[in-house]
A and B are shown apart, each in its own frame.
Chain A
Amino acid sequence: MSARVHAAGLGVRFDFDRQQRVVSPTLRRLRRRGATLWGLHDVDLDVGPGEGVALIGPSGSGKTSLLRAIAGILPADAGALEVRHRVGSMLAVEGGLLGALTGRENARSLCVLAGLTPAQARSGATELSERSRLGTAFDRPVATYSEGMRARLGFAIAESAQPDVLVLDEIFEALDHEYRQVVEEHARDLRARGGIVLVAGHDHEALGRICERAVALRDGRIVADGPFAEVVSAYRGGA
């Protein structure tokens, strides 16, 4: 495994119309233009095999946009982004879950969307049920789940695609103490195998347990990048 994330001058732009709705480039040409906001601006980041990087910063600083760009969800409007090998993502507690479907149905569907074959998704459902520790709730509609149960299922699905790069956004906040340990163990195990873990959130204590490096963002730009304790300390001092 030689996972790598490399961003050079990365920018992600949001164009708004005059009603403050985000518009696509095609629609931007047809409508009278409103404001333009760079969600990410001139981001340089290099993450190598075995690294765990925490993204910290105030809400709206660009953490989620950076993770979404790395996961291939948002396109790069400026600069270049290279992500080597398979990405597993959990970028919201819902994690792509559909409330009307059961945990099992969601798992089968999302595992296929994440890159498994339908046969792999079917055969892996029982193991995924055990890993999520949902018990009989696995066959109940997800709409009946608590936030923590959704986070467990979402994480188990993200893990089942056996990613080389795992990106997690603010999931610790939704998890109970017991399952946090499971996530932390998985993250450490992935790093030990040469994978990459990128995780954003406000629970710095939890982030510090799986990341030795931190990147601080503000207004879509990287303002600090270095050892976790130093960056967090500087961020807290300056926040």
Chain B
Amino acid sequence: MRHGTLRRSRDVLLALALSDFRVRYGRGRLRIVKWLLDPVAALGVYLLLVALVLDRPGAAPGLSIACAVVPFQLVMMTAVNALRCIESRRTILLNLAIPRGLLPLASTVTESLAFATALLMPFAMMAIYGVPLTVSVLWLIPALAITILLAAAIAYPAALLGLWLPELSTFFVSVVRALFFLAPGLVAYDTISGDGRGLLPINPLTGLFETYRAALFYGRAPAAWELLVPTGAALLILALTVPIFRREQPHLAKIVTGGR
């Protein structure tokens, strides 16, 4: 791809993401409050569930849950955004010939921008529980890269579903949410026993959550599978869905016109 094309794609991607970001998150002081409240609210609900309702044992449950909720927030919010990424830009699609293949990626960038504040949560939990910061925190860098890659991978099938079968959007969101509960989201992988334990690593979120825990909670390097499974799953989904989306993208305007 030529340098000029790459630069143009970057400019379009940022223009789409920033305008979407302003639409979804508003502007001014209220935006910052919303940014901060979203992850706090999500974490708070799960923390109450684990610590009070289920009364599960374990050290630093708030930090353990934050290591799962924070990356999951990005994946989930990207899926929700991508489901409507075509319809929400209806007026643009009907007026300008833009590189439409970037729309799901723009959803990922929008939600990644919003995700930045959520990253404060695990560090706040570390401070609350007195968990020391070690050199393993550097594993957060690949963890973040994998989270964004997985979010981008979810965005393409979400965008296709929002285009083809918008009535199944709620079902898709439920499937993504189910993946959280079919992974060690509320409790760490090490504390799970039983027959299902061996199957959990198949879920790409398991490796993702455990990578965050390794970096911030256990203070060790993540196991290879914890990095490779979510990366492989993301690449596989992208390999399957990006070509389909590229084939569909010339026809997006046709579909949103409804034939008028």
Asked if A and B bind, the verdict is yes
> Which A residues contact B (CB, under 8 angstroms)?
12, 14, 16, 21-27, 37, 39, 60, 68, 71-75, 87, 89-92, 94-98, 100-101, 105-106, 108-110, 112-114, 117-118, 154
Q: Which of A16, A39, A71, A112 contacts B97 (CB 8 A)?
A: A71
Are A23 and B255 in contact, CB atoms less than 8 angstroms apart? yes
Interface residues of B (CB under 8 A from A): 11-12, 14-16, 18-19, 22-23, 91-98, 163-164, 244, 247-248, 250-251, 253-255, 257-260
B164 to chain A, nearest CB (A): 5
Q: A27–B254 Cα gap in the complex (Å)?
A: 13
Between-chain CB contacts (< 8 Å), 10 pairs:
A14-B254, A22-B259, A24-B255, A74-B253, A95-B95, A105-B19, A105-B22, A113-B98, A118-B11, A118-B15
How far does the alpha carbon of A109 sit from the alpha carbon of B19 in the complex, in Å? 7
In angstroms, Cα B245 to Cα A24, docked, is 11
Contacts A101-B23, A110-B96 given; does A24 touch B12 at CB 8 Å: no
**Chain B positions within 8 Å of A112 at CB level:** 11-12, 14-15
Q: How far is the CA of A89 from the CA of B94 in the complex (A)?
A: 10
Q: By DSSP majority rule, is chain B's interface helix, strand, loop, or mixed?
A: helix
Shortest distance from the beta carbon of B161 to any chain A beta carbon, whole Å: 11
Task: Please measure, in the bound complex, the distance between the C-alpha atom of A90 and the C-alpha atom of B95, giving whole angstroms.
Answer: 6
In the bound complex, how far is the Cα of B20 from the Cα of A100, in angstroms? Answer: 10
> Would you call B23 and A100 a contact (CB within 8 A)?
yes
Identify B255's interface contact among A22, A89, A100, A117, CB under 8 A. A22
A74–B100 Cα distance when bound, in Å, is: 12
Nearest-CB distance from A98 to chain B (Å)?
6
Contact check, A91 vs B259: say whether CB atoms are below 8 A apart. Answer: no
The 3 closest A-B pairs by CB, nearest first: A72-B97, A112-B15, A96-B95
User: Smallest CB-CB separation from B23: which chain A residue?
Assistant: A100
Q: Are A94 and B91 in contact (CB under 8 A)?
A: yes
Within the complex, the shortest CB–CB distance from A204 to chain B, in Å, comes to: 22
Given contact pairs A37-B259, A71-B97, A110-B96, a sample of 20 additional A-B residue pairs in the complex whose CB atoms are under 8 Å apart? A23-B255, A24-B164, A39-B259, A68-B253, A73-B96, A74-B253, A75-B251, A75-B254, A89-B96, A89-B97, A92-B91, A92-B94, A101-B19, A101-B22, A105-B19, A109-B18, A114-B96, A118-B11, A118-B14, A118-B15
CB-CB nearest in chain B for A59: B260
Number of A-B residue pairs, CB cutoff 8 Å, is 99
Given contacts A73-B93, A92-B91, A112-B15, contact A100 B254 (CB under 8 A): no
Query: Which residues of chain B have C-beta atoms less than 8 A from A97's C-beta?
Result: 91
CA distance A113 to B89 in the complex (A): 12
Chain A residues within an 8 Å CB radius of B14? 112, 118
User: Which residue of chain A lies nearest to B165 when distances are taken between CB atoms in the complex?
Assistant: A27
Within the assembled complex, what's the spacing in Å between the Cα atoms of A68 and B22? 28
A75 in contact with B250 (CB, 8 Å) = yes
Q: How far is the CB of A131 from chain B (nearest CB, A)?
A: 18
Central interface residue in B96, B247, B248, B260, by most chain A CB within 10 Å:
B96
A88 nearest in chain B by CB position: B96
A64 to chain B: closest residue by CB = B260
B251 neighbours in A (Cβ, 8 Å): 24-25, 75
In angstroms, Cα B10 to Cα A118, docked, is 10
How distant is the Cα of A28 from the Cα of B244 in the complex, in angstroms? Answer: 14
Contacting A22 at CB < 8 Å: which of B11, B16, B22, B254? B254
Tell me the bound Cα distance from A94 to B255 in angstroms.
Answer: 18
In the complex, A114→B98 CA distance in Å? 8
Nearest-neighbour CB distance to chain B for A135, whole angstroms, equals: 21
Nearest to B255 among chain A residues (CB) is A22
CA distance A26 to B251 in the complex (A): 10
Residue of A nearest to B20 (CB): A98
- Chain B residues with CB under 8 Å of A110's CB are 92, 96
Contact at A113–B96, with CB atoms within 8 Å? yes
Question: Shortest Cβ distance from B156 into chain A, in angstroms?
Answer: 14
- Which of chain A's residues have a CB closer than 8 A to the CB of B19? 98, 101, 105-106, 109
Interface contact A73-B95, CB-CB below 8 Å? yes
